[in-house]
């Protein structure tokens, strides 16, 4: 078995584009476009537990939070997904709901290239601060 060690991978025809052959050898995937561009884990909107490419978490009000990206997205068409864990007293129950632009505060939730603002909902549908929130984004970086 051979081992390849490197600090940098660069495409031969386009420096920022590396094609990876998928299962079955019939399709290719662009490596850079398939990577998660940011992720954050925060507790009740008050402190970042851990993150990648995220900074300045803001608690706007109950269940309404935002954070900025260290490296901006190339446009506002990136995808964001996340989960919320705990009901404020325990981290034993996981809820996975669509919480970006939630029904109660859709106007408050905003995608921009440099930050994202989002609403967290309780399993009953009300706005709520959860014990742990996890979110990630995928899409093009600027």
Contact 128, 121 (CB under 8 A): yes
104 or 123, greater pLDDT: 123
CA angle 112, 50, 61 (to 5 degrees): 55
Looking at residue 48, its pLDDT comes to 92
Q: How confident is the model at residue 10 (pLDDT cuts 50, 70, 90)?
A: confident
pLDDT at 101 exceeding the cut of 50:
no
pLDDT at 60 exceeding the cut of 50:
yes
Looking at residue 34, its pLDDT comes to 80
With a threshold of 0.85, does the pTM exceed it? no
Spatial separation of the C-alpha atoms in residues 76 and 8, rounded to whole Å: 28
Looking at residue 119, its pLDDT comes to 79
pLDDT at 87 exceeding the cut of 90:
no
78-87: b (≥16 Cβ within 10 Å) or e? bebebbbbbb
């Amino acid at each position: 078995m051979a081992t390849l060690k490197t600090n940098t991978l660069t495409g031969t025809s386009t420096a920022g584009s590396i094609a990876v052959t998928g299962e079955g050898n019939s399709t290719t995937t662009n490596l850079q476009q398939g990577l998660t561009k940011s992720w954050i884990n925060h507790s009740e909107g008050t402190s970042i537990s851990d993150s990648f490419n995220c900074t300045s978490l803001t608690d706007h009000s109950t269940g309404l939070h935002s954070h900025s990206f260290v490296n901006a997205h190339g446009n506002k068409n990136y995808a964001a997904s996340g989960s919320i864990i705990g009901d404020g007293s325990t981290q034993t129950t996981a809820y996975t709901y669509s919480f970006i632009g939630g029904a109660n505060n859709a106007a408050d939730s905003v995608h921009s290239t440099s930050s994202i603002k989002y609403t967290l909902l309780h399993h009953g549908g009300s706005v709520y601060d959860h014990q742990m929130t996890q979110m990630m984004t995928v899409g093009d970086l600027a």
